[in-house]
Structure 1
Amino acid sequence: MKRSIYNQLLAWRKSPRRKPLMLYGARQVGKTYILKEFGHSEFENMVYINCYQNPAIQTLFSENMDVKRIMLGLSALSGEEIIPQKTLVFLDEVQDVPDVISSLKYFCEDAPEIVIVTAGSLLGVLNMEGKSFPTGKVDIIHMYPMSFNEFLEAIGEDRMMELLEIPRREELINALIPKYVELLRQYYFVGGMPEAVAAFIESHTPEIVRKIQKDILAAYDADIAKHAGKETQRARLVFQSIPSQLAKENKKFIFGALKKGARAADFENAIQWLVDAGLVYKIPRLTKVDMPIKFYMELDAFKLFVLDVGLLGAMAEIPPSLMLIGNNVFSDYKGAFTENYVLTQMISVPRTVIAYYSKDNSTMEIDFVIQAGASLLPVEVKAEENVKSKSLRQFITVDQAGSGLKGIRFSMKGFIKQDWMENVPLFAAHSFIKDVSQRSLV
């Protein structure tokens, strides 16, 4: 299956300032697959080593950081010659051998001609006690589950995907809304985890897809038990509470919903562990909407979202029939799926920073504020065609009057442009934000 991250890998390889690459992401988002494709397609040969439960690798990287010695050992273990610029050295599951991560500093300094990539979860960084992280000596790319656009291409709807990617095709896209809505309904159920998408393509059997989603969630639970240490039970409580937290009208994370008397201090480490593992996205509140938004983030007030909308459905135990037939998935659950979906489509676009805004002493809230490149966009999310936007209108035309900001509303309606707001169909969320980000760099 094609992945848009491939273009980022190509750009990294061609960069004159290339450093060793660390590809991060939650388990099972497709890191190993895409790097193997990259190695086979773009290089003369590839040295692939899986570091998981690999005593030889642990020994090789624990002795000293002589790069020539390490390369000789990697070549012997793989049976492949390492040729500068022509061989991709791919070390997988590096979170299990922190010394591999530390060694990247020496590859950067002593052997910049060697093209080396690593893949793993952020769990390894959390467990690097006594080891040095190669700060400033590595390039980092974060990989996410498949976007809706990638899903369309994977299931053979190339033309529908291409229409979303080509600017100024709004009228044609609006004419195809029923078809896009049907495909979006499928994506809400399947999500973007590559194994679930592959099963959907091969079988078109909802029960098989749901079983794979459950297996992935079980693997994540095992990771929590293995790596979270004393935060295990708290991390499980937080992760399992997200569907009910998102079903609330006000989606701000409420600690009291976890257990009676729960305080932020009791769970902040567990939440950070889930964020670092890539299992949840933490979206902080803004005290002011201005650039750069990181200056105005209130980190103790936030929303939490699951990394994949398909996994959210599996966590909530929603029967596949309710998601695949009719518009229940869009209209029910108080927009929980829709807001989680929009967040995942936006966060996978490079050069984006995302928060939300709520006004002090008021019920007014802007679902998301996204800094895409040099653009600042207040975003409202509507799960249905009932698109009254009182908060967004008040915010743009009164609170921010004269600021030049224009609101964006993602809804089930087609493209509509007004002087203070632009409506974008939900299925075009990823394409729209990507286009804004790219145009702001020109």
Structure 2
Amino acid sequence: MSELLVWKSRNNRRPLLLLGARQTGKTWLSEQFGEAEYSKVARIDFLRDNQAKRIFDGNFDTERLLMEIGIQTGVNITPGDTLIILDEVQECSRALTSLKYFCEDASEYHVIATGSYMGIAMHDGESYPVGKVDTMRLYPLSFLEFLRNSGDGPLAEMIASQGAGTVSGAFEERLKRQLKMYMFVGGMPAIVAEYEQSKNLREIRRLQQGILDDYDNDFSKHAPPRLLERLRQVWASLPAQLSKENRKFVYGVVRPGARARQFEECLQWLCDYGIAYRIPCVSAIRTPLKSYAQPETFKMFCFDTGLLGALSKVDAATVIDGSAIFTEFKGAMTEQYVCQQLMVQHLTPYYWAKENSRTEVDFVIETHNTVMPVEVKAELNLKAKSLKSAVERFGLQRSIRTSLAGYRDEGWVTNIPLWAIGSINSMV
């Protein structure tokens, strides 16, 4: 909401694309913003209103568009005090194109377009409004946001503003318990709301499976038919791909004998859709990391721990059984969790693997004009042989290890508890 307020106040404001996977709260957020900050809201839902698509069949004269949107919604649209919401804009590619003309010819009007699979609209023959839109991406709730919704707002604020080193040991077990639940529940808004209301883990899993079914239906509806079977195979392979035994995405895990050229487009489709992240390997831990990325070597992560657990059939009993959830399929659930927290902080994670060696650093990030390797450990394990090797090889001053152990600064490495990795920028 605070980012939307900044967008509203800009003198050079452009139409806003509010992006995110299905059920991350795009419609809810845009409507809440409209009700709180504007006198009127004119909203079109292209999923439900096929008639509204015809408004954009003609020319892109903004006066005509504004008049017809007003007629369709029953709202007298006036500049400055009316928010125009074009919901599920991927269903009407010409509405996406119209944002270019709202930017150029009617910038005094406030327009938000929401989309779940914007990548599809980019490739269907219509012009994407490059340079004519502002963008904002919604993610599942972070762990700190989960805490705020679970009645532990003061703890979340302490971690976010002051770092893990200020949190008393008296609260560590409480944070670990909450983290275990987050690993199972994940951060999808409706799932978190159900958890807060019922605490019924079976119902949580049922709802998560429902979201997965919705995604599968979207695959059938929007993916090119030639990709559909392979797309489902890639999506289903994510739990196996995240095994620590795989130092990169292995096409043979998807299907025996598979080759990159057969699945590359499927991988990009999942990333465009917003439900998977592609994390490249870098050949060196040096700035800028992008210059050392090896596009052909990468890992794929799901965008939500809860949905990954549902996809891999992690049983609810795993949450209760000690720290088992952190070690599921060789600790990959913990890596998934860390990746998710880095993405929410607008950090771009990479990873590093030494050629012809088992030495590997789980993530590498660039923050505060420096590069920082991040080693992920399940449970209380503090061994960091690969991390030490990377620090020495590239002459790094600092590194991060994250585990269930408490905060400690050892000079060359800082151990940040897993429950605090979501505020990494305040601690490095």
Task: Calculate the TM-score normalised by the size of structure 1.
Answer: 0.93
Q: What is the CA deviation profile of residues 103-122 of structure 1, one whole-angstrom value per residue up to 9, with x for unaligned ones?
A: 00100011111010000123
Q: Which moved more, 1:325-334 or 1:185-194?
A: 325-334
Q: Which amino acid aligns with 1:296?
A: Y
Q: Is the 8 A contact 2:70 2:76 kept in 1?
A: yes
Q: Which moved more, 1:164-173 or 1:14-23?
A: 164-173
Counterpart in the other structure of 2:100: 105
Counterpart in the other structure of 2:36: 41
Counterpart in the other structure of 1:298: 294
TM-fit CA distance, 1:123: 4.1
Q: Which amino acid aligns with 1:415?
A: Y
Correspondence list, 1:14-53, <5 A:
14-53=9-48
Pairing 1:60–2:52 present: no
Q: Which amino acid aligns with 1:348?
A: V
Unaligned runs of 5+ in 2: none
Q: Is the 8 A contact 1:96 1:124 kept in 2?
A: no
Pairing 1:129–2:124 present: yes
* CA–CA distance in structure 2, aligned partners of residues 270 and 169 of structure 1: 39
* CA–CA distance in structure 1, aligned partners of residues 120 and 301 of structure 2: 22
Pairing 1:93–2:88 present: yes
Pairing 1:429–2:428 present: no
* CA–CA distance in structure 1, aligned partners of residues 75 and 121 of structure 2: 32
* CA–CA distance in structure 1, aligned partners of residues 165 and 402 of structure 2: 14
Q: What is the CA deviation profile of residues 360-382 of structure 1, one whole-angstrom value per residue up to 9, with x for unaligned ones?
A: 12211110011235332110000
TM-fit CA distance, 1:327: 1.4
Q: Which moved more, 1:301-310 or 1:358-367?
A: 358-367
Counterpart in the other structure of 2:329: 333
TM-fit CA distance, 1:326: 2.1
Q: Which amino acid aligns with 2:218?
A: D
Pairing 1:285–2:281 present: yes
TM-fit CA distance, 1:283: 0.2
* CA–CA distance in structure 2, aligned partners of residues 248 and 209 of structure 1: 27
Counterpart in the other structure of 2:175: 180
TM-fit CA distance, 1:400: 1.8
TM-fit CA distance, 1:127: 5.8
Pairing 1:408–2:400 present: yes
Counterpart in the other structure of 1:203: 198
TM-fit CA distance, 1:124: 5.6
TM-fit CA distance, 1:234: 0.8
Correspondence list, 1:119-268, <5 A:
119-123=114-118, 125-126=120-121, 128-168=123-163, 170-229=165-224, 230-268=226-264
Q: Is the 8 A contact 2:345 2:422 kept in 1?
A: yes
TM-fit CA distance, 1:337: 0.6
* CA–CA distance in structure 1, aligned partners of residues 46 and 192 of structure 2: 27
Q: Is the 8 A contact 1:122 1:276 kept in 2?
A: yes
Tell me the SS of whatever aligns to 1:113: coil
Counterpart in the other structure of 1:3: none
TM-fit CA distance, 1:151: 0.8
Pairing 1:420–2:408 present: no
Counterpart in the other structure of 2:393: 399
Q: Which moved more, 1:103-112 or 1:202-211?
A: 202-211
Counting matched residue pairs gives 427
* CA–CA distance in structure 2, aligned partners of residues 113 and 34 of structure 1: 22
Match of 1:362 among 354, 357, 360: 357
* CA–CA distance in structure 1, aligned partners of residues 51 and 194 of structure 2: 35
Distance 1:247 1:372, change over 3 A: same
Distance 1:272 1:373, change over 3 A: farther
Q: Which amino acid aligns with 2:21?
A: A
Tell me the SS of whatever aligns to 2:177: helix
* CA–CA distance in structure 2, aligned partners of residues 373 and 208 of structure 1: 42
TM-fit CA distance, 1:73: 0.9
Q: Is the 8 A contact 1:98 1:125 kept in 2?
A: no
Q: Is the 8 A contact 1:148 1:430 kept in 2?
A: yes
Task: Calculate the TM-score normalised by the size of structure 2.
Answer: 0.96
Q: Which amino acid aligns with 2:403?
A: S
Tell me the SS of whatever aligns to 1:192: coil
Identity %: 38
